[in-house]
């Protein structure tokens, strides 16, 4: 009997020892939730051996609610169909088109989209999320940033508020909202993968590529749609994907909202983008150059050339300087500098922090345009002289009071030109081009240039109530 009691005692003691060892070392490797949500603790044998702590506090592990953001954004994202006519008319030509998305920015119908969605189009149709359809007018576009501004005649429309794209952080949740192929709004979620990306798709020496990269799914037809944060604010315009198959493969890119806001503001106010330049040629700083120059890190923008008479030259910058920051914003690479400068207009000032011969300096640079002037850029008026033979200008306040309507005033007609043969006279006020209303010379010039072949210029002469219409074809 004593033998059996000893055996039972040994079993109990072994079990208690096993429980003690399990709770002391092994069990503590599991997650234990305590206190408020997100207060998770990890403690285990590794912690004890290496005197470490694994209490990370999973602040981002809680479920993220995208419902409110989607409800704000989806009514303001539209479908855009742009038709392009080629050939010499109905019988000898053909009509093609493109489809994309757009974002309503104001309740009175201003819509932002990509330049490549409406490029060379002769007819633009916009379909709202509630299926209402409108004919849109192109207010203006900027190929260097791939942004265009449209206008439809409507009021009390749902619209999206601008967010601050500078505040975005890598890893932050975002939604991509599009309206492709009239499938109504589609919403996908992802995170910010990177900022300041240059993928060399826009071309040209003056293009600005400082894209927000995300892994939110963006497919053909979503170009021009909205990238929004979790409160429904616009923080980018979805523009491109990198793909080998033609479909989404995990890399999508958006124009930052702070740059978009400046571009469409210029187009709406002036008809053209007021583009400012520092007046330098630049490239990224690599590790080898950083060591040569004694920089603490391989960050900043290396100045390879300072343009004569540019803003940088006036401020004393030299070849070989490294620009470290603009207006107290630190720079890592060239796309960031291009984006920041692209938000300013000629004549505005920037504080530039730069590195020269082992020391930091600061200076003030007055930005200039491509002609090294600080004046506001406007259309010259003679852009159509060689094409159809007319010069245009905006009407002044006195003429506006007399004519009582906006438009583009014809100031001269070139003898022997296409327009000369129509008997159009100087003083003709163009109020529409191919049925699309124009409010100034910039809009008229852009509409005439975009027309493929046939043109109809409607308008009035001062003191005459009748509408005049001049119809002709542009030369091949």
Active site residues: 116, 146, 223
Rounded-to-integer distance, Cα 321 and Cα 365, Å: 14
Instruction: Choose among 345, 339, 199, 328: nearest CA to 272.
Output: 345
- Dist CA 239 CA 197 (whole Å): 12
Tokens 């004890």, residue located = 48
- 362 forms beta bridges with 353
- CA separation for the pair 351, 333 (Å, rounded): 17
Q: Which residues contact 473 (CB under 8 A, 6 or more apart)?
A: 418, 453, 454, 455
From the list 301, 255, 294, 296, the residue with the least C-alpha distance to 278 is 301
Q: Helix, strand, coil: what percent of the chain each, to 5? A: 25, 35, 45
Q: Which of 113, 108, 104 is closest to 77 using CA atoms?
A: 104
Tell me the DSSP string of 22-62.
Answer: IIIIIGGGS-EE-SSTT-EE---HHHHHHT-------TT-S
Helix (H, G, I), strand (E, B) or coil at 437: strand
| Distance separating alpha carbons of residues 451 and 84, to the nearest angstrom | 10
Q: Cα 394 from chain centroid?
A: 29
Evaluate whether 169 touches 153 at the Cβ level (below 8 Å): no
Nearest CA to 341 out of 217, 223, 249, 207 is that of 207
- Tokens 């690479």 found at: 333
Q: Which of 424, 419, 448 is nearest to 434 (CA)?
A: 448
CA distance 317 to 81: 47
Residue 442 exposure: Cα atoms within 13 Å on the Cβ side: 15
CB-CB neighbours of 384 under 10 Å: 22
- In sequence order, what are the residues at sequence separation of 6 or more whose Cβ sits closer than 8 angstroms to the Cβ of residue 364? 315, 349, 350, 351, 352
């Amino acid at each position: 009997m004593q033998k059996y009691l000893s055996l039972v005692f040994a079993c109990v003691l072994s079990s208690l020892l096993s429980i003690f060892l399990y709770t002391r070392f092994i069990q503590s490797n599991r997650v234990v939730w305590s206190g408020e949500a997100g207060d998770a603790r990890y403690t285990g044998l590794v912690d004890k051996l290496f005197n470490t702590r694994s209490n990370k506090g999973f602040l981002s592990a809680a479920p993220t609610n995208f419902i409110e953001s989607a409800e704000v954004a989806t009514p303001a994202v539209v479908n855009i169909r742009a038709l392009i006519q080629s050939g010499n008319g109905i019988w000898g030509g053909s009509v093609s088109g493109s489809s994309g998305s757009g974002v309503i920015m104001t309740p009175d119908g201003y819509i932002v989209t990509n330049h490549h969605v409406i490029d060379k189009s002769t007819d633009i149709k916009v379909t709202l999320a509630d299926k209402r359809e409108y004919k849109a007018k192109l207010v203006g576009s900027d190929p260097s940033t791939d942004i265009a501004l449209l206008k439809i005649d409507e009021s009390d429309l749902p619209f999206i508020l601008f967010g601050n794209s500078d505040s975005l952080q890598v890893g932050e949740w975002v939604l991509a909202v599009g309206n492709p192929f009239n499938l109504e709004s589609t919403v996908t979620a992802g995170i910010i993968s990177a900022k300041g990306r240059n993928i060399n798709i826009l071309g040209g020496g003056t293009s600005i590529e400082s894209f927000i990269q995300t892994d939110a799914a963006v497919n053909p037809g979503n170009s021009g749609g909205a990238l929004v944060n979790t409160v429904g604010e616009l923080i980018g315009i979805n523009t491109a994907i990198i793909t080998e198959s033609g479909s989404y493969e995990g890399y999508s890119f958006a124009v930052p909202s702070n740059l978009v806001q400046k571009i469409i503001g210029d187009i709406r106010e002036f008809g053209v983008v007021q583009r400012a330049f520092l007046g330098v040629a630049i490239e990224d700083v690599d590790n080898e150059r950083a060591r040569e120059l004694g920089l603490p890190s391989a960050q900043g923008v290396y100045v390879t050339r300072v343009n004569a008479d540019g803003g940088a030259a006036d401020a004393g910058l030299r070849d070989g300087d490294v620009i470290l920051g603009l207006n107290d914003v630190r720079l890592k690479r060239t796309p960031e500098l291009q984006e920041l400068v692209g938000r300013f207009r000629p004549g505005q000032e920037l504080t530039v922090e730069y590195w020269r011969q082992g020391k930091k300096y600061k200076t003030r640079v007055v930005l200039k345009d491509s002609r090294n002037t600080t004046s506001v850029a406007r259309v010259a008026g003679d852009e159509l002289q060689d094409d159809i033979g007319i010069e245009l200008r905006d009407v002044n306040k006195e003429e506006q009071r007399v004519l009582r309507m906006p438009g583009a005033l014809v100031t001269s007609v070139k003898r022997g030109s296409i327009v000369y043969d129509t008997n159009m006279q100087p003083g003709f006020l163009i109020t529409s081009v191919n049925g699309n209303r124009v409010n100034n010379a910039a809009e008229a010039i852009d509409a005439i240039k975009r027309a493929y072949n046939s043109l109809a210029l409607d308008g009035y002469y001062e003191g005459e109530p009748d509408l005049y219409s001049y119809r002709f074809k542009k030369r091949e």
